Amino acid sequence: MAGHIFFSLLNPVIAAIFATMFLLLWRRFQAHRHFGLLALAFLLLAAGFAFYDFSPLGSEVANRLISNIAFAAAIIIACCAALQRSRIPIPFAAFAALLIPGYAAFVWFLVLVPSIDARIVIVGLIFSGLFLISVTKLLQAGPSSTPDRLIVAAGILGAILPLARPILILLGILDAADGPTFRESSYWLSLQAFSPILSGTVALLFLSAMTMDMVDRLKAEANHDYLTGLLNRRGFESAIGKALLGNRHSALLIADIDDFKQVNDRFGHKVGDLVIAGVARALSSHSGAKFAARVGGEEFALYYDHSDQDALQRHAEAIRAAVRHMVVGGLPKDYNLTLSIGLHTHGPGQTLSDMLIEADRALYRAKRDGKDRAVTSRAPLHSFKPKARLA
């Protein structure tokens, strides 16, 4: 009896622990609504196990019906969490098309023509189908990261395992009537033994994916500027360092807002922030660059994977024109915002540091020569190679 009570408590307690864990994550990161959905899913799973194992209602039919509805609801909500995380529309019509006839058949074999084996097969098909619909949607969206693939793995596992017991029932390996009572049958014992493994494995796959999501998000925040959403200097240099390898046709554009201190002094730092954000949008929309960054207070940098001097000059003029016509709240309509720009294309043997030095030198010349202009670096910085001595 003690062993039976222990196994009966195991499933709801484990599900409740996972529900609490996801609830705490959701309270800490409320923008991630899928944490809240997963908490609700595991709470419903705990309730389903409680009704299934303890039968708190007087009617066995009611207990079975409520527990299986709770299980289905838990699976649907967990699938919705996975789809919402990937910003995929929820396939409510497909879920309904599976659930309505499925549970109609379940009720038929629960009330009108009682059959435990039939119910086991029907429920297995329903649960597996719900996971399969969701996995199909996730695969159609194209999982592109390790967290995406972990979520898909959880869905595939959820689609496969509910079919295991119906198959074993149909093969005669498990039997819901091979014990003195149903709760002592091989089917019931397998359900109690393997359900914690299934729910725990799915939960751990979700937790692993969510942990990776959070790490990736923190990395992105560390490499991006909070005001503009562009890369910061660290993120920019890290991104270029990878893109520059073996690339002989890259180029840099360094832009600086002219007389930005006057904007802050005359109109306030709030307007200055609006100017910086507006210039960042102009750069993102009109630069055609592979990477864009805010590398200083009012200084921006752009990296081009393939560009020559003429193309780089055209990009610079498009940016300057966009900034000149930009409307910023708090600035007078006749206030003329301008940029000074330094341009540099990759030279033989140059490192990222070399390119940044040359682009900064060109920017300095643009400032020195009157601002509001784009200046190309004069000559690439060559690595020194000693000449061979004459004999």
Domains of the chain: which residue ranges?
Answer: 2-222, 233-376
**Residue 95 structure tokens:** 């879920």
What pLDDT sits at residue 386? 39
Q: Give this prediction's pTM.
A: 0.66
**Buried/exposed 348-369: b ≥16 CB within 10 Å, e otherwise:** eebebebbbebbbbbbebbeee
What pLDDT sits at residue 387? 41
Confirm whether 2-222 and 233-376 share one CATH topology.
no
What pLDDT sits at residue 4? 56
* Phi, then psi, of 346 in degrees rounded to 5: -60, 130
* Phi, then psi, of 202 in degrees rounded to 5: -60, -45
Residue 31 has a CB neighbour count (10 Å cut-off) of 7
Angle CA 86–201–25, to nearest 5: 55
What pLDDT sits at residue 112? 92
What pLDDT sits at residue 384? 38
109/116 Cα distance (integer angstroms): 8
Q: Please return the burial class of 8, using the count of CB atoms within 10 Å of its CB with bins 0-12, 13-18 and 19+.
A: middle
What pLDDT sits at residue 379? 56
With a cut of 50, which residues of the chain have pLDDT below it?
Answer: 1-3, 381-391
What pLDDT sits at residue 237? 86
Positive or negative CA dihedral for 222, 225, 230, 234?
A: negative
Residues in the chain: 391
57/119 Cα distance (integer angstroms): 20
- Statement: 2-222 belongs to CATH 3.40.50: no
What pLDDT sits at residue 385? 41
Q: Which superfamily, per CATH, for 233-376?
A: Reverse transcriptase/Diguanylate cyclase domain (3.30.70.270)
